[in-house]
Amino acid sequence: MTQLYDTLQISSAGMRVQSTRVRVISENIANAGTLPTSPDQTPYQKQFVRFKNEFDREMGHSVVKVDKVTTPREEEFELKFMPNHPAANADGYVKAPKIDTLVEMMDIREAQRSYEANLGVFDQSRSMMMRTIDLLR
């Protein structure tokens, strides 16, 4: 019974990190077209979720957790020629976020599948626990 409970905890941790990943990817997609309002501002920068394995002493197993949400080390922007925009530099270029929405959509789909896989394990473990309880009655 303890192993089944541990399985519930591990799959729950997997669902938590994947839901954070979906949230961050959604923010990237939502801000893909966001431009600064002046030439000295920097536009939205793509974010990434970094995971880590953390040992849970109570369970005696490692579980996955979100380490942190980060941006790339060097600023990655693309320049768009928009001479009439208020954020255009002297040459008429505006810094825009370098976010490929197609790649982000593929990433969000992968996170969704990982979440669903963890949910399936959770449901199976819960079902097995309920059957065990029924057998013990």
Residue 54 exposed, middle or buried by CB count within 10 Å (0-12, 13-18, 19+): exposed
Position 6 scores a pLDDT of 85
The domain spans of the chain are 2-136
How far apart CA 124 and CA 96 sit, in angstroms, is: 46
94 bridge partner residues: 80
Residue 51 has pLDDT above 70, yes or no: yes
Residue in 34, 46, 45, 47 with CA at minimum distance from that of residue 87: 34
Position 1 scores a pLDDT of 61
Q: What is the DSSP letter of 67?
A: E
Q: What is the mean pLDDT of residues 36-59?
A: 90
The proportion of the chain whose per-residue pLDDT surpasses 70, expressed as a percent, equals: 99
pLDDT digits (tens, 9 = 90+) for 62-85: 889 999 999 887 777 999 999 999
